């Protein structure tokens, strides 16, 4: 049995540069990962099985359309059938929320299947499968801080300090395609140069305005995070609706979490740290 962590990804900055003819967008983004997330358990079995457990299990269907089963099938398409597998997805991240839950699950499935099949985690075929599965899956397969270009699949490593971070989602699922479609097609410029923190602080998320138009609750999340004492940076991640706040001190992160949980008990709120 293998249990692979599927940590949440954040986009500390996300600059949309152009719309492409294939319908995707050229972007420049700073991907980071946090300590917490979903996990995927893979066990060789008599026959294939797939189940979803955990606090956000009900947001997903266990049928063939799940990204985990698609990943399993794509892996087999490249590397051969192997043993039947029982796969259990433990879903702790809200679905369609801009923190890469589905992409992280796909990447964890690829890592786990590679290990069971004796495929090197650095096998370039894994990255190719990842890029086919979704724009964020290659970054999640790498699983560490990266600058992403192109659709997000062209990756360059960079380092980030392990700062405390608070993630908050107001319980509104947002469609990534709808948010990208709402981008105003104005190129506001490249990622700034410098270390990861400089890039984050001087960067933007160009998907914030279209996401806020679709889900006005994001405004409230950003306002509440922005009012937290000791906060360093507040921004939406990916296509939303999850927003994050970076802190220098864990105590400030914990205080902000307590305040937001008391004011908005229905929101999802995770105190974690960059890795």
Is residue 247 close enough to count as binding ligand C5P by CB under 6 A? Answer: no
* Catalytic residue positions, numbered: 9, 136
Is residue 243 close enough to count as binding ligand C5P by CB under 6 A? Answer: no
CA dist 75 and 66 (Å) reads 14
Is residue 170 close enough to count as binding ligand C5P by CB under 6 A? Answer: no
Is residue 135 close enough to count as binding ligand C5P by CB under 6 A? Answer: yes
CB 232 within 8 A of CB 181: no
Q: Is 245 annotated as a binding residue?
A: no
Is residue 177 close enough to count as binding ligand C5P by CB under 6 A? Answer: yes
Q: Which residue among 17, 41, 151, 261 contacts ligand C5P (CB under 6 A)?
A: 151
Helices (H), the chain: 67-79, 101-117, 124-133, 137-142, 176-181, 196-202, 208-214, 217-226, 250-263
Here's the x/- map for ligand C5P, 23-52, by CB under 6 A: it reads as: xxx-x-------------------------
The least distance separating ligand C5P from the CB of residue 65, rounded to whole angstroms, comes to: 13
The least distance separating ligand C5P from the CB of residue 189, rounded to whole angstroms, comes to: 17
Which residue lies nearer to ligand C5P by CB, 152 or 170? 152
Segment interacting with ligand C5P, rule: CB under 6 A, options 33-41, 47-55, 87-95, 172-180? 172-180
67 three-class SS: helix
Which residue lies nearer to ligand C5P by CB, 149 or 253? 149
* Residue corresponding to tokens 């890592």: 111
Which residue lies nearer to ligand C5P by CB, 17 or 232? 17
CB 211 within 8 A of CB 174: yes
Is residue 72 close enough to count as binding ligand C5P by CB under 6 A? Answer: no
197 token code pair: 């923190």
Is residue 237 close enough to count as binding ligand C5P by CB under 6 A? Answer: no
The least distance separating ligand C5P from the CB of residue 176, rounded to whole angstroms, comes to: 4
Segment interacting with ligand C5P, rule: CB under 6 A, options 21-29, 115-123, 221-229, 247-255? 21-29
Chain Cα centroid distance, residue 106: 11
Is residue 74 close enough to count as binding ligand C5P by CB under 6 A? Answer: no
DSSP per-residue codes, 232-272: EEEEE-TTSS-EEEEES-HHHHHHHHHHHHHH-TTSEEEEE
CA distances 11 to 21, 98, 146, 229, 235, Å, are 24, 8, 10, 22, 9
Is residue 204 close enough to count as binding ligand C5P by CB under 6 A? Answer: no
CA dist 91 and 232 (Å) reads 29
CA dist 49 and 255 (Å) reads 42
CA dist 99 and 102 (Å) reads 9
Q: Is 134 annotated as a binding residue?
A: no
- Residue 165, beta-bridge partner list: 246, 272
Which residues sit at the interface with ligand C5P, rule CB under 6 A? Answer: 23-25, 27, 134-136, 151-152, 176-177, 180
Residues in binding site for ATP: 94-104
């Amino acid at each position: 049995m293998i249990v692979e962590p599927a940590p949440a990804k954040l986009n500390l900055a996300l600059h949309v540069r152009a719309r492409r003819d294939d319908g995707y967008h050229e972007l420049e983004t700073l991907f980071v990962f946090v300590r917490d997330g979903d996990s995927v358990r893979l066990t060789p079995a008599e026959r294939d099985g797939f189940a979803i457990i955990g606090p956000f299990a009900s947001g997903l269907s266990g049928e063939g359309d799940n990204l985990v089963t698609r990943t399993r099938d794509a892996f087999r398409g490249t590397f051969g059938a192997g043993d039947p597998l029982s796969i259990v997805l433990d879903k702790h991240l809200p679905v369609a929320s801009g923190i890469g839950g589905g992409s992280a699950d796909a990447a964890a499935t690829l890592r786990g299947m590679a290990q069971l099949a004796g495929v090197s985690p650095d096998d370039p075929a894994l990255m190719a499968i990842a890029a086919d599965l979704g724009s964020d899956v290659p970054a999640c397969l790498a699983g560490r801080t990266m600058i992403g270009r192109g659709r997000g699949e062209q990756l360059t490593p960079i380092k980030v300090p392990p700062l405390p971070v608070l993630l908050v989602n107001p319980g509104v699922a947002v469609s990534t395609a709808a948010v990208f479609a709402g981008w105003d097609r104005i190129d506001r410029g490249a990622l700034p140069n410098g270390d990861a923190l400089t890039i984050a602080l001087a960067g933007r998320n160009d998907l914030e305005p279209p996401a806020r138009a679709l889900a006005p609750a994001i405004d409230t999340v950003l306002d509440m995070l922005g009012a937290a004492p000791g906060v360093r940076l507040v921004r939406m991640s990916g296509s939303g609706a999850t927003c994050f706040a970076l802190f220098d001190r864990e105590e400030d992160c914990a205080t902000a979490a307590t305040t937001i949980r008391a004011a908005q008990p229905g929101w999802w709120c995770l105190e974690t740290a960059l890795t």
